[in-house]
Amino acid sequence: MAGKFVVFEGIDGSGKDTQLSLVSQTLQEQSVPFKTIAFPRHDHPAGFFVDKYLQPDHPYGTPEAVGPWRASLFYALDRYDASFEIQSWLKEGTLVIADRYLTSNIGHQGGKIASEEDRERYVNWLYDLEYRILGIPRPDFHILFLLPADVAQVRIARKKPRLYLGGAQKDAHEADRRHLEGALLAYRWIAAREPERFCVIECVEGRKELSPEEIHEKVIRALRPFLGT
């Protein structure tokens, strides 16, 4: 039986890395066979154009100048290159969990498109490009971590400098609060458009930031149908 493919999504600073680590520990304890992969792959040649694009002073111009359509091609090629390994895991019956995938483009690139009609056109183009033309595997389910942009920026400020940014702390998207707010809107929009494919986890309830452990409990409940335990 083919494995299941689940994706963790959310704006920058939403705690995806932490949750992936906690879920990995739980799955190991339960002896559930699984594989994880994170996008974009900054340590891989297929991520070259993504890394260049995310550098604060990259030669392509600002993210607005590059635009959603061209920027999406950089990420699509990285996913295409990784798709063969993902498909082999799924054929083995393994649960695959990705930290970001195609829906990240809908959030971060689609969030730059103000018109809902134009955003719909962009999403249809992206689905056709990646799922039909490139043939990348379509996820079975998404867990979407959301929190206010101001909270996200505080968390992003705690990040360590990153090599793929030449030692900078924030990439071109993370440094822009307006971008984070647009991504948040677009993520909510796609989750409402395809509710059967998303579990939305609000990482802040009222004024209270949920602890990693509280969020982890919600994640495990959402994952239970895919664990086969």
Q: What is the CATH number of the domain that holds 25?
A: 3.40.50.300
Among residues 50, 100, 111, the alpha carbon closest in space to that of 75 is found at 50
β-pair partners for 97:
6, 36
Confidence bin at 20 (pLDDT 50/70/90): very high
Side-chain-side CA neighbours of 138 within 13 Å: the count stands at 8
Residue 40 in this model has a pLDDT that exceeds 90:
yes
| Distance between CA atoms of residues 58 and 45, nearest Å | 17
The mean per-residue pLDDT over the stretch 137-161 comes to 86
At 84, the amino acid letter reads F
Q: Which domain holds residue 18?
A: 5-227
For the residues 121-138, what does the mean pLDDT come to? 98
- Domain total of the chain: 1
Average pLDDT over residues 70-99: 98
Q: Kindly indicate the confidence band of residue 191, based on its pLDDT and cuts at 50, 70 and 90.
A: very high
- pTM of the full predicted structure? 0.89
